C-alpha cells in the first residue's frame, strides 16, 4: 500500500514539475519585464495612460525591435564592435562569452550542435554531436588529421565532453538533434519518440 502511494506521488510529481517550472519561468520573465519597463514607463508617462501589463507589453516590443534591428548589416557591425570591446575586459569577457556561447545554441540563425553521430570507442558506441568539422577552425596541432570535434553530453547532467575523433570512428545516426539530446539526457529511458 505504501509503495503504491509513493509511486503514485512520484508519478504526479514528475508529471507536474516540468509544467510548473515552465509556467514559473514564463511568469518570472513577465514579472521581471513588467517591473523593469513598468517602472520606467511610470516615470515617463502620465499616470492615467499607464496600466498594469504595459511594461511587459513594451518589453516584448523592445525585444522584437532588437531582433528586427539585428537583421540590418550596420547594426550587426556595431554590435560586433561592442562585443569586441567586451571581450577585452578581464572579468566581463569570461562571463559574457559563457552566456553568449550558451544562448547561441538557441539562435535560429546558428546550427549550434551539428550532426548526430555514434562514436565507436573500444567496442562501445556513444551518442554525440559534431561541433566542428572544419580543420581550419581547429587548433593547429589537430589540423593534420582527418578528425572532427564531437560533443558527448552526459545523462542527467548539464555537462559533457568535447573529444577529437577520427572520421573513421563515426557513424551518422538518423535522429534529430532534439531527439538525440532528449535520448541521451534521459539515459535512453524515454526511448526515441518519432514525431
Alpha-carbon span 22 to 12, nearest angstrom: 16
Half-sphere exposure of 116 (CA within 13 A, CB side): 14
Over the stretch 175-186, which tens digit does the pLDDT of each residue have? 887 788 778 877
Q: What is the predicted pLDDT for the residue at 71?
A: 85
Neighbours of 120 (CB within 10 A): 15
The edge-to-edge listing of strands for the beta sheet with 170-172 is 160-166, 147-153, 124-132, 116-121, 170-172
Mean pLDDT of 81-99: 83
- Which of the four pLDDT bands, split at 50, 70 and 90, describes residue 67? confident
Cβ contacts of 80-88, under 8 Å, gap ≥ 24 = none
Over the stretch 98-116, which tens digit does the pLDDT of each residue have? 777 766 655 655 555 678 8
Using alpha carbons, select from 43, 70, 41, 71 the residue that is nearest to residue 55: 41
- What angle, 0 to 180 degrees and rounded to 10, lies between the N-to-C axes of helices 90-104 and 73-86? 130
* Segment 74-90 mean pLDDT: 86
Summarize the confidence of residues 27-46 as an average pLDDT: 84
With a cut of 80, say whether residue 75 has pLDDT above it: yes
What is the chain written as a DSSP string? -HHHHHHHHHHHHHHHHHHHHHHHHHHHHHHHHHHHHHHHHHHHS-TTT--TTHHHHHHHHHHHHHHHHTTSHHHHHHHHHHHHHHTTSHHHHHHHHHHHHHHHTT-TTS--S--EEEEEETTEEEEEEEEE--GGGS-GGGTTSSEEEEEEEPTTSS-EEEEEEEGGGEEE-S--HHHHHHHHHTTTTT-----
Give the residue-averaged pLDDT of 143-149.
77
Amino acid at each position: 500500500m505504501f509503495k503504491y502511494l509513493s509511486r503514485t506521488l512520484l508519478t504526479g510529481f514528475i508529471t507536474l514539475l516540468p509544467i510548473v517550472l515552465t509556467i514559473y519561468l514564463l511568469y518570472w520573465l513577465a514579472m521581471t519585464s513588467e517591473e523593469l519597463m513598468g517602472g520606467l514607463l511610470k516615470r515617463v508617462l502620465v499616470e492615467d495612460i499607464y496600466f498594469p501589463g504595459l511594461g511587459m507589453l513594451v518589453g516584448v516590443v523592445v525585444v522584437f525591435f532588437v531582433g528586427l534591428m539585428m537583421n540590418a548589416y550596420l547594426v550587426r557591425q556595431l554590435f560586433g564592435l561592442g562585443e569586441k570591446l567586451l571581450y577585452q575586459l578581464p572579468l566581463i569577457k569570461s562571463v559574457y562569452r559563457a552566456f553568449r556561447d550558451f544562448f547561441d545554441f538557441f539562435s535560429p540563425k546558428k546550427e549550434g550542435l551539428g550532426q548526430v553521430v555514434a562514436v565507436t570507442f573500444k567496442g562501445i558506441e556513444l551518442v554525440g554531436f559534431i561541433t566542428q568539422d572544419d580543420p581550419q577552425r581547429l587548433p593547429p596541432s589537430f589540423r593534420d588529421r582527418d578528425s572532427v570535434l564531437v560533443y558527448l553530453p552526459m545523462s542527467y547532467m548539464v555537462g559533457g565532453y568535447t573529444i577529437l575523433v577520427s572520421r573513421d570512428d563515426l557513424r551518422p545516426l538518423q535522429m534529430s538533434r532534439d531527439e538525440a539530446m532528449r535520448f541521451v539526457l534521459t539515459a535512453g529511458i524515454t526511448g526515441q519518440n518519432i514525431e
